[in-house]
Every structure is written in structure tokens, then in C-alpha cells.
A and B are shown apart, each in its own frame.
Chain A
Amino acid sequence: MKPAVFDYHAPAIVQEAVELLQRYGEDATVLAGGQSLVPLMNLRLSRPGHVVDLNGVPELDYLTVDGEGIVVGATTRQRTLERSDTVRDLCPLLWRAMPLVGHFQVRNRGTVGGSLAHADPASELPAVALVLQAEVGVVGPTGRRDVKAEDFFIDAYTTALDSAEIVEHVRFPSLPGGTGTAILEVARREGDFAMAGVAASLTLDPEGLCSSARLALFGVGPTPVRVIKAERILEGRAITEELVGEAAAMAVQDLDPSSDVHASAAYRKRVAGVLVRRAIAEALARATGEQT
């Protein structure tokens, strides 16, 4: 479990990193927190000829508030978000997701941009990005562009990033008043990858009807999935137990998860439905103020 030979590059600015990626193309990979890449390299499952380490690029490590939410630099550690009152107040779903990402030792190293760019199907941050309709700020040889979260995750471990592009920041919009959120998952142990998980947000209008519902499942397919058909069942209506059951059934109807050593496909599908039901109930309780 020793990596194959590679050249190590430590750029100091984003532009330099992009240039290195452009120069080495497919033979280069980006190192951020290293929580996924380094084990893969040690197993020689990943054999980049060049590793471009972003940890020495200070301009990527920040957390700021702008008018519509928060902006997180790509190499900001997950632990920073977990400890941030700003994140808790402005982006509670993001804040709630953090303790589910590995263990604190992992979050001390793991980065927000790295988690999105790695695009593990079972990881929490991509699903949160979908629910919050985050925008991923990307920089590459031809300049900068923003990619909507819904367009970012293409397949398992595959994103809309071009080989010479890196994630520069992520913009997480705040949700309007009257919104409640929840993120639930089932994992073999605390901190393990989810066998199934769901991130949810519900917004109620002054009459108590659901004006907006967003549900994203993770760990049950190659990418996190927004289940829009289930959201539509909730939107415009008063949320009842029956309606929640209907939405949960709809959410898992088209799922085709796979089996592995941790759980069968049937289990994943079934438990995803349970989690959707529980997450809607929890988000609703927060939207109405019954639960904090």
C-alpha cells in the first residue's frame, strides 16, 4: 500500500495550479484534504503522474457571507463549517450535514471543494448542494464559470469539471423564512458512508401550505438525486402524514440502488423511503418551529 511514483507540485496561487493541470492534463490530479485521494493512491487504484496540492493556496481557504447566502472557498475544511455560527444561522442544512461527514479527524482535513469534486455517490455534501441549489464556482484555463449543483454531478466520481479545472468556491444560498431542513442517513457505524440518506428542505407559506419542497437522496445511485416528483406531491398542499407517505413512496419508486458488502439493494431502497418520511417530518417540525 505505497503509491506509485508521482511528481508533487505545490502551487501558491490558483492560476499556477490551473497551469499545472493544463500542462499535465489527464496525468495530473488535485490534492485537497486527501481523505479520498491518498488511500486510492496507496492502493495504486489511482496512479497520477502529477499531484497538484492546493493546500498551499491561501486564496482558496475562506468563508464569507454575501447577500444571498454564504460562499465557501474550495479548500475550507469541513470542520470549519461545523464550527461556524454563520453557517449554523444562514445555512442550517449545511451545518447539520457536517457531523455526518466521516469522523472529526476526517473533517479536520477534508475540504468542501474536495468533497464535491470527488463526487462520491454516498457523500452528504453533494446532496446538500442539490437541495440548497448551490453554485459551484470553477476556474480553468479559459477563465471562470459557475456550474449549478444540478449540472455538476454527472456520474459516480464524475463531475462537470474539465481536467484542467478546479473548484474555486461554492455558493450556498440561504433559504427563505418559514423553511425547515433535515438530513438523515443510515450508516453501518457513525461516520461511515451512508447506505442511504436524504437531505430535505420544506418552506411553508403563511397559510401553512408547502410552498417549496426539495428532497435529494444519496447513497442509492451513482449520483445524488433530486426527487422532483415527490417534491411536487408536497408542494401547494398542507402536509399530512398520508401525504408524506405518498411522497416517500414516490421518492424511491424509480430508485435502482446496488448491493455491496454493507447492504442489499432492496434494503437501501426500502430504508430510503423510511428516511424520506422521517426527514420530511423533521423538516416540517422545524418549519413550523416545533423543533429547532
Chain B
Amino acid sequence: MRPRGQSASIGEPVKASADLRLITGRGVFVDDLHLPRMVHAAFLRSPHPHARILGIDAKNAATSPGVVAIRTGSDLNLRSKLMQVGETTEASAIDIEVLPSGKARMVGDPLAVVVAQDRYLAEDAMELIDVTYEPLSPVLDADVARASTDTLVHENLGSNVFSTAEGGYGDWDEAVASSDVVVRETFRQARCSPFPLEGRALVADWDPADAKLTVWSSSQWPHMFRQHLSDLLNIPLDHVRVVTQDVGGAFGLKANTFREDIAIALLAVELGRPVKWVEDRRENLMASAHARDHSIDLEIALKNDGVILGLRARIVDDMGAYGLYPWSPDSWGKLLAVSLPLPYKVPNYQWEVVTVVTNKAPESAYRAPGNAAGAWARESLLDIAARQLSLDPIDLRRRNLIARQDLPFSPLGGGAPIDAVTTEEALEQAAALIGYDDFRQEQQKALAEGRYLGVGFGIYIKAAGRPKSPATVGLSETGLESATVRMSATGAVQAFVGACSGGQGYETTFAQLVADEMGVPVDAVQIQMGDTDFPAESSGTWGSRSTVVVGATLVGAARDVSTQMIAVAAKMMEAPQEEVALEGGFFIAERAPSERLSVLDVARAAWEDSSLAPSTLGTGLSSTRHYEIPGPTYSNGCHAAVVEVDTETGKVSVLRYVAVEDCGPLINPMIANGQIRGAIAQAYGSVFLEEIVYSEDGLPLTTTLLDYLIPDAASMGDVIIKHLETPAPGSGRFKSLGEGPLVASAPAFACAVADALSPFDARLTRLPLKPDRLIEATGGD
């Protein structure tokens, strides 16, 4: 044991405690849950992108072997409140039924649910349901949908434009008038999938005796999910429990409450039996949700020396056929718009976001929503501008970065001041590590041999852990977090947190924080999470918030328990509290250093002898704290890639890759580097591989892993990672890492390819950079 407060594990690559369990197949995901009397559900989904539903005949299916129940929208819709989304000043709401009854608006729309003894039998019966459709012409392209007046996805909206939002600051026209050059390009981000390895999944169980609904889910926000279940099903909040076990990735997809979730919960209540639904990969790719279907028309006004005077963004966001409860469907386009200028000083900015409804799957948040797509467009445009102005792209960035002398920097678009970021250092170190000084020579030499090399950079500043404010209570609430730490009679420390891990390693990093604060070994701390019945409240794991928010909260609660233990120890030793210290795992009183008490001695005594109570209000060694840090933290980073493009085949090889990150003091470098590598892999996927494709008739063509390609281990090369560790101001110190690396990585890859193909004046404005597109961009076929 160590003296209290001394960081013995923070900063160390403590082995992730879940690793052994997970890699030996002892993880417990939703599909691993088997309850007595459990039945299995499958959803019948529309094969049409747009069709009126004239009738659903389930007579034959009902007598299929093993069938327990078959329900359609007409059975379920009145038993839940409408999942209304998106009512704002700019838009009217979209009503979402549990199971659409009037018409199907996308391939994959769930029209009926079959519950049977097992999933096989459910799928057998599903094939016997006879649906009569009247096919309608679909709208699949956002521009076509905008203009269409005769084909409406939601008649009540009166058009296919869900909302048009505008914003910005300064004066764009003025910026253009004062500028030497305006550079414009339209960037088309591919529709892609958040793609957690474990898809959506839940088991719902209704206990009629307690009138309590328990839902085991792969959610990334169990408390929010509990709230939604309570609201939509009209069950009191204290009669809903949500449990997450191991969660096989989430990436934003699981920060939604889906129609299928409500249907399964309704069936569990009705049937009085546990109902399991685990979506398969086809459902996941076709019907869960997609992301980033953005078209970004970007203009930048600059002086000849590269100083940015203004930026204008016109964004069209294809939100698909519905929103996802409880988000407003235009959230992600707006987030893109607002995040675009960071990390640069952009004195004038104007943006417009048009959110359009189409007959495709709805749009979800996906790791760094808005930020990641915007950064690719922005950094690509900066490189185009640098080429046009004959400036070094790094110099252009140096000239405009929010730099040390600008701190604290008040974002012109509003928001908390940016502080404790190291954008220049990150850029300079990334440039040095990638070998930028010698690179242009290396590039020229290669070119002489007919080889095409390029370098690209991506830079980000990302906020995380906004405080609670009355204006944002509810959805955009990232400040709601409370945690409880208690010392048990066995000497084990239990820390209850509301955030839950979808692979982030919180079991380890949170344990390190508590252990170091209390002066106990890391393995003496048990992190308890993923159960809404635990003494912790949270808005979930999203927006890079957990380490910032939970970390600060846990440390405060752990400190309280330490202080309580000192009080108990002092009473036991009959010494004044201020003279008792925890040293080397023992409580020692100044006056009699030989009379030592172990942590276990004190813990047990506190639980067994009420006279030792540290406070008049209670006898336990326990504290609950709330997140109380006043502002968000800002992380930053810079990634750089060197690639080689085979201009005959369009194959891209990544020759070198560097990530310089400043997420504040590292809690666990091994876990931090895992986050960074994972983000780089996802960025690689979005730049080179991933694209959800619909046919002209509206049929999804990428519904298996044969068609929708995700990055795999063989796709990834070596990555050099360097950490700057600038603490956040205030008591929290720790900054976020969950999303930022993804924001920097996509532009690094894409800009490197564009740089390699600059001898061809290749326009690379559409992701992914597939080999055929690269050949086309070089003037090949």
C-alpha cells in the first residue's frame, strides 16, 4: 500500500482487468444471457423502401411450430407513447410508431414481430406472414428529395426538408471582400455504419409481482434508456431497471432508444416471459442506423499569406426516413457546422444546414459526430488552398491555429473558453516525427522513380464534459454524473458509477483513480457499473465524457472515504484526526507510531462498531459525489500520415503514421493507446473502406460483411504515438480521448493521398477513397 494521494498507478500501463475474461471467452454479452422461460423475437422487415401497407396476414404464421405471439403495429402502437422526435423552432416533429402501420419508409422498417421458442422458429414463422404492399416511388438522393413535392416520406412535414438551420458569427461577405482568394469545394462523406461488433440486443423481463421491468441491454446509456422506457411505456421510474453487462462496442449507435427496444419491452410485459432479441448483422447494417451522410460545400476566404478571414459551410444532411429517439434528426448536421472552425482562428463564419428526409435508414451519432466528417472536409480544403497559394500546408496551419498566446481563447461562436491546449506543439512534434523536413525531398526522389508519396495532417480540438446547466437538462446534458465509493467490511473498495464500458477499460482506469486517491492497491477496488439500481446516476457513455466526468467525481468520493477512515482510525487510536496519517497501508498516529492499524482493521471496525461512526449522519464508510467541474475540458492532437499510392491499381500503402495527443495526464498509457489505435482503424475504414450503398431502387446493397468492409487487423500498420500531458485547469486534470483521435486521423489519411496524387491535380472529394475512384481521379478510366 502507498501513502494516500500519491500516484502510484496513474500513468502506469496497468493491465486491463477485463482482458483475461474477454479473451478467454468469459465475457457476458446480451446473447449470453439465458433466463428460464425465455422466448425469442424476430422482426419482419419491409423489403420496399417506400410502400403503403395494405394488409398484414399472419394466420399461417401463427400456427407455425413454436410460435408464441405475432404482433403488428395495430397491436402495439397504442400501448406506447409516440416516439416523437425533433420538434424545434425550425421543424415540426416526426412521429415514430413502434411498428409502422400505414406505410414502410425504408427497407428494413419493422412491420411485425414474431416471438417463438427460439430464433430459428421465429424466422421460419416470419416467412409465412403475408404483407400486401402498394409500392410507392422512393426518394433516395437528398437533392432530389429536397426538390420533390409529390413524393413525401412524411406527409405531415409538407416537404422532405426536415429543417433548415443557419448560424455563424462575424460577416462572411466582408471577409470575402477583404480576401485575396476564396477557395471552394464540395465534399461528400460516405454514409457509413457505426458498426459495433455486438449489435443492438436486449432481453426484457416483466415481474408481475413487483410490477417491475428489467431490461438487459447493450446500451451505452442505461440511465437514459431507463428514463425512455419509463416515459414511453408509462411505468414509474423506480419500476424500471436497466442492466448492461459486457458491451461489445457502441460508438454512438447505442445512445439511441429504438423502436425494437420498445416492442420487445411491450411483449415482455404482455407475455409475462423474458423476451430476447439480438439483431443479426444483416439487420444491423440494413435497419439499425447509419451515419455521416453529409454533403459539405465549403468555402474559405484567405489572404495571400494564408491567413484565414472567413469560412462558409453549406451542409446537406441526409437523415434517412426517421429520427432516432430522443435526438432531433438535425443534431448531427448542426454539430458538424458548429465544430468546423476549430482548431483555427476563423474570424467570420457562416453556416447553413439543410436536413433532408429520404427512404433510407435513420442517422445516428457515430463517434465524434459532426466533428470527424467536418475535419476531413476542412483539412482537405486547407491543403487545396495551400496548393493554390503555393504555401507550405504546415505553414498555412501554423498561421491560423489557436496557439498558446491566444489562450484562453473564447470561441467566437460562443461556448466556454478554450484553454490548456497544445496545438502548436502537437503539430510541430507530429511534423518532426513523420520527418516532414526531409519529406518533400523524399517525395521528389520517389516521383522521379514513378512512385507517388504524400503526406497529410489532421488537427483537432475537442471539448468534453460540459457541466450541467439548466438550459441543457435532458438530452444534451453531459454534466449529470454521480458516483458512490464505499469501503466494505472486507477491506475491498466498491465504486459505483453510472457510465458503462463498451470496451473503454473503465474497470481498470477508474480503479486506478480510486486506488491512488485512497492509497490501496488497484485490485482492491471493484468498479461496479452498468446497473441502474446501483447508487449512481449518469447520462451515459458518449461525447468523450466518461473519464473527464466520472474521473473527477470518483476522485472526490474516494477522498471523502479516505477522510472518513482517518476519522475512524483516529477514534480507535484515541488521537486527533490531524495527527493520523495513512502510510504504507497502515494508519499511524504521530504520537505512537508503533500502534498501527491496517486498512482492514479500520474498515471492519467501522462496519461493526457504531460508536466509531465518522459522522453523526451515518455509520458507513461511503460517499456519493456529483460532477461539479465548472467547464468542459479541451483535448487536442495532431496526426500525420505518409502514404504511397500505386497509380496503376489505386492501392494505398501507409508507410508511416504518427499520432501526437494531449489528453492531459495519462491514467493508463496502454488503454489510452488502445483508444488511439482503435480510432485510427475506424478513420482508416471511413477513408478507404466503408460505404453504405443503396441501389437506384432504394435497396441496400451492403448488408453483409462481404459488401460492407470494415478495417481489420491486417489493415493496420505501425503507429507511433506521442503524448503531451497538459492537465486541464481546475481540479479535474484529466481530459478526454474517446473521439478526438478519430477527428485527426481521417484527414491525415485522406490529405496524404491527395498530396500523393497532386501531380495529377486529382480532386478527392468523395469518401471512401476506393481504388477505382483513385484511378478515376488520376485521369484513368
Contact call B124/A188, Cβ cutoff below 8 A: no
Of the listed stretches A71-79, A110-118, A165-173, A266-274, chain B binds A266-274
**Which residues of chain A are within 8 angstroms of B120 by Cβ–Cβ distance?**
2-3, 5
Contact call B649/A189, Cβ cutoff below 8 A: no
> How would residues 686 to 722 of chain B score, 1 for a CB under 8 Å from any chain A CB and 0 otherwise?
0001010100000001101011010110110000000
Q: B239 interface residue, CB < 8 Å from A?
A: no
Q: B184 interface residue, CB < 8 Å from A?
A: no
Q: Which of A2, A44, A190, A275 contacts B714 (CB 8 A)?
A: A190
Q: Which of B693, B770, B775 contacts A188 (CB 8 A)?
A: B770
Closest to B710 in A: A189
Q: Which of A2, A191, A266, A274 contacts B649 (CB 8 A)?
A: A274
Contact call B281/A1, Cβ cutoff below 8 A: yes
Chain A, interface SS category: loop
**Which residues of chain A are within 8 angstroms of B119 by Cβ–Cβ distance?**
2
Contact call B771/A263, Cβ cutoff below 8 A: yes
Q: Tell me whether A189 and B770 are in contact in the complex, defined as CB-CB below 8 angstroms, given that A1-B280, A43-B704, A267-B781 are known contacts.
A: no
Q: Tell me whether A267 and B124 are in contact in the complex, defined as CB-CB below 8 angstroms, given that A39-B704, A186-B771 are known contacts.
A: no
Closest to A1 in B: B280
In the assembled complex, the Cα of A189 lies from the Cα of B704 at a distance in Å of: 15
Q: Tell me whether A188 and B771 are in contact in the complex, defined as CB-CB below 8 angstroms, given that A267-B781, A271-B649 are known contacts.
A: yes
Contact call B712/A267, Cβ cutoff below 8 A: no
**Which residues of chain A are within 8 angstroms of B781 by Cβ–Cβ distance?**
264, 266-267, 269-270
Q: Which of A103, A193, A261 contacts B691 (CB 8 A)?
A: A261
Contact call A263/B772, Cβ cutoff below 8 A: yes
Q: Tell me whether A274 and B648 are in contact in the complex, defined as CB-CB below 8 angstroms, given that A1-B281, A262-B770, A266-B781 are known contacts.
A: yes
In the assembled complex, the Cα of A186 lies from the Cα of B646 at a distance in Å of: 11
Q: B780 interface residue, CB < 8 Å from A?
A: yes
Closest to B703 in A: A43
Closest to A271 in B: B649
In the assembled complex, the Cα of A191 lies from the Cα of B710 at a distance in Å of: 13
The minimal Cβ–Cβ distance linking B106 to chain A, given in whole angstroms, is: 19
Contact call A189/B707, Cβ cutoff below 8 A: no
Q: B123 interface residue, CB < 8 Å from A?
A: yes
Q: Tell me whether A191 and B282 are in contact in the complex, defined as CB-CB below 8 angstroms, given that A186-B651, A261-B701 are known contacts.
A: no
Q: A192 interface residue, CB < 8 Å from B?
A: yes
Q: A21 interface residue, CB < 8 Å from B?
A: no
Give the bracket for the number of chain A residues in contact with chain B. Answer: 20 to 34
**Which residues of chain B are within 8 angstroms of A39 by Cβ–Cβ distance?**
704, 706
**Which residues of chain A are within 8 angstroms of B729 by Cβ–Cβ distance?**
none
Q: A156 interface residue, CB < 8 Å from B?
A: no
Q: A154 interface residue, CB < 8 Å from B?
A: no
Q: B650 interface residue, CB < 8 Å from A?
A: yes
Q: A4 interface residue, CB < 8 Å from B?
A: yes
**Which residues of chain A are within 8 angstroms of B127 by Cβ–Cβ distance?**
4, 44
Contact call B775/A261, Cβ cutoff below 8 A: no
Q: Which of B282, B711, B771 contacts A267 (CB 8 A)?
A: B771
> How would residues 33 to 50 of chain A score, 1 for a CB under 8 Å from any chain B CB and 0 otherwise?
000000100011000000
> How would residues 648 to 660 of chain B score, 1 for a CB under 8 Å from any chain A CB and 0 otherwise?
1111000000000
Q: A195 interface residue, CB < 8 Å from B?
A: yes
The minimal Cβ–Cβ distance linking B275 to chain A, given in whole angstroms, is: 17
Chain B, interface SS category: loop
The minimal Cβ–Cβ distance linking B169 to chain A, given in whole angstroms, is: 41
**Which residues of chain A are within 8 angstroms of B281 by Cβ–Cβ distance?**
1
Contact call A189/B693, Cβ cutoff below 8 A: no
Closest to A42 in B: B280
Contact call A267/B650, Cβ cutoff below 8 A: yes
In the assembled complex, the Cα of A207 lies from the Cα of B381 at a distance in Å of: 58
In the assembled complex, the Cα of A271 lies from the Cα of B649 at a distance in Å of: 6
**Which residues of chain B are within 8 angstroms of A263 by Cβ–Cβ distance?**
770-772
Contact call B124/A4, Cβ cutoff below 8 A: yes
In the assembled complex, the Cα of A3 lies from the Cα of B118 at a distance in Å of: 13
Contact call B124/A5, Cβ cutoff below 8 A: yes
**Which residues of chain B are within 8 angstroms of A189 by Cβ–Cβ distance?**
689, 709, 711-712, 714-715
In the assembled complex, the Cα of A173 lies from the Cα of B105 at a distance in Å of: 57
In the assembled complex, the Cα of A44 lies from the Cα of B124 at a distance in Å of: 10
Contact call A1/B282, Cβ cutoff below 8 A: yes
In the assembled complex, the Cα of A24 lies from the Cα of B272 at a distance in Å of: 43
Q: Which of A5, A44, A190, A271 contacts B771 (CB 8 A)?
A: A271
In the assembled complex, the Cα of A261 lies from the Cα of B123 at a distance in Å of: 28
The minimal Cβ–Cβ distance linking A109 to chain B, given in whole angstroms, is: 16
The minimal Cβ–Cβ distance linking A36 to chain B, given in whole angstroms, is: 10
> How would residues 82 to 117 of chain B score, 1 for a CB under 8 Å from any chain A CB and 0 otherwise?
000000000000000000000000000000000000
The minimal Cβ–Cβ distance linking B123 to chain A, given in whole angstroms, is: 5
Contact call A267/B772, Cβ cutoff below 8 A: yes
Q: Tell me whether A195 and B282 are in contact in the complex, defined as CB-CB below 8 angstroms, given that A103-B714, A186-B649 are known contacts.
A: no
In the assembled complex, the Cα of A192 lies from the Cα of B775 at a distance in Å of: 20
Q: Tell me whether A267 and B775 are in contact in the complex, defined as CB-CB below 8 angstroms, given that A188-B689, A261-B693 are known contacts.
A: yes
The minimal Cβ–Cβ distance linking B468 to chain A, given in whole angstroms, is: 43
Closest to B279 in A: A1
The minimal Cβ–Cβ distance linking B61 to chain A, given in whole angstroms, is: 14
Contact call B772/A264, Cβ cutoff below 8 A: yes
**Which residues of chain B are within 8 angstroms of A193 by Cβ–Cβ distance?**
706
**Which residues of chain B are within 8 angstroms of A4 by Cβ–Cβ distance?**
124, 127
**Which residues of chain A are within 8 angstroms of B771 by Cβ–Cβ distance?**
186, 188, 195, 263, 267, 271
A sample of 20 inter-chain contacts (CB < 8 A) reads: A1-B281, A1-B282, A2-B123, A4-B124, A4-B127, A39-B706, A44-B123, A103-B712, A186-B649, A186-B650, A189-B714, A189-B715, A191-B714, A193-B706, A195-B771, A261-B701, A264-B776, A266-B781, A269-B781, A275-B649
Listed from nearest, the 7 A-B pairs whose CB atoms lie closest are A267-B772, A266-B781, A1-B280, A190-B714, A274-B648, A2-B120, A263-B772
Q: A191-B714, A263-B770, A266-B781 are in contact. List 12 more A-B contacts (CB 8 A).
A: A1-B281, A1-B282, A3-B120, A5-B120, A5-B124, A43-B282, A44-B127, A186-B649, A189-B714, A193-B706, A262-B707, A274-B649
